Amino acid sequence: MRNLAALICTALALPAEALPVERCINLGNALEAPTEGEWGYVIQRDHITSVAKAGFDTVRLPVKFSGRWNGERIDPALLARVDEVIGWAREDGLQIILDLHHFDELMQAPGAYADDFFAIWQDIAAHYRDAPNDLIFELLNEPSYELTTEGAVALFDRVVPMIRSIHPERWIILGGGRWSAATEMAGLPVYDERTAHTFHFYLPFEFTHQQAHFIDQPPPPRGWGTAQDRAETATELARGLSHDSAPVLLGEFGVYEAAPEQDAIDWLAFVARAADSAGVGWCVWSIAPPFAILETESGTWRDGRLGALMSER
Ligand code: BGC
């Protein structure tokens, strides 16, 4: 039926279906760590409710499936935990983007791990065989290092038909190389009308990642917000927001906690409003420190950051 619908839309020149994600928050630093909690965050039931009440419609759940893969199956304990979080989100009316995150070995040696990538997705696709369409699959976070867009597409070409045979209507999100840079989306295929493309946006990197502890030579302190800053950021952002071969998701954007708070708030508002104006859904990085929107210890929102994201369009 979907293919028929697509044919009719094309024949009548109707707009393609929109990705049903507008305002999303990443549940990062939890399940993509080697074990949940190791990076300082364990997803809490009441955090999910706070997310729904704040007006988000979707959560993106990064998971390091490759870390709990024994060559034959994903650790059932990890899947049970993912199921639990998905269940919480669903109870609160949120959609879930399930994102295969931090498959580091695949980035270093794509050929050697292509079969594992396929088999992990076979396992996920089978496990979520009966899941409603509020569950969205994002095949691979930030292809990088040895994995180019072309290399990622070779992986997707194999995995998407397998997933489609089980999930004919589920949205599938694809990102390109260079850490899902905006311009890499041009090299991504559109398999069908429920394929979306994603890009990540942290520019200027020297602002969003200033003093970040996980960078070898972290950028020094700096602000953001001059007319020139805004013009340059708008130009870079437009490269992603104007992509039109498939529905687009701005799948990550955020500011490290060392940045001047008011500048961080201004940058978040600037990026979110630009995406809103372009009709592109966004997913902020991330709920927990060190890019936090929520004070996860106390469960209270950083009001300035939340307000920047959720202000009226
Ligand atoms: C990575 C995080 C990182 C963030 C911002 C994400 O894709 O998984 O570890 O903090 O990007 O750099």
pLDDT tens-digit series, residues 180-192: 999 999 999 999 9
Is residue 172 predicted with pLDDT exceeding 50?
Answer: yes
Q: Is the CB of 99 under 6 A from ligand 1?
A: no
238 CA to middle of ligand 1, Å?
22
Q: Is the CB of 142 under 6 A from ligand 1?
A: yes
pLDDT at 3: 42
- Are 55 and 24 within 8 A, CB to CB? no
pLDDT at 312: 75
pLDDT at 6: 46
* pTM, 2 dp: 0.95
Burial class for 119, CB neighbours closer than 10 Å (0-12, 13-18, 19+): middle
- How many other CB atoms are found less than 10 A from the CB of residue 158? 14
Confidence of residue 15 (pLDDT cuts 50, 70, 90): low
Task: Please give the distance of CA 63 from its chain centroid, rounded to a whole number.
Answer: 11
Average pLDDT of every residue of the chain? 95
Q: What is the pLDDT of residues 52-77, one digit of tens each?
A: 999 999 999 999 999 999 999 999 99
- Are 268 and 275 within 8 A, CB to CB? no
Q: Which of 209, 268, 285, 287 to mutate to test the pocket of ligand 1 (most atoms within 8 A of CB)?
A: 285
State which ligand 1 atom lies nearest to the alpha carbon of 200: 7
Q: What is the pLDDT of residues 207-238, one digit of tens each?
A: 999 999 999 999 999 999 999 999 999 999 99
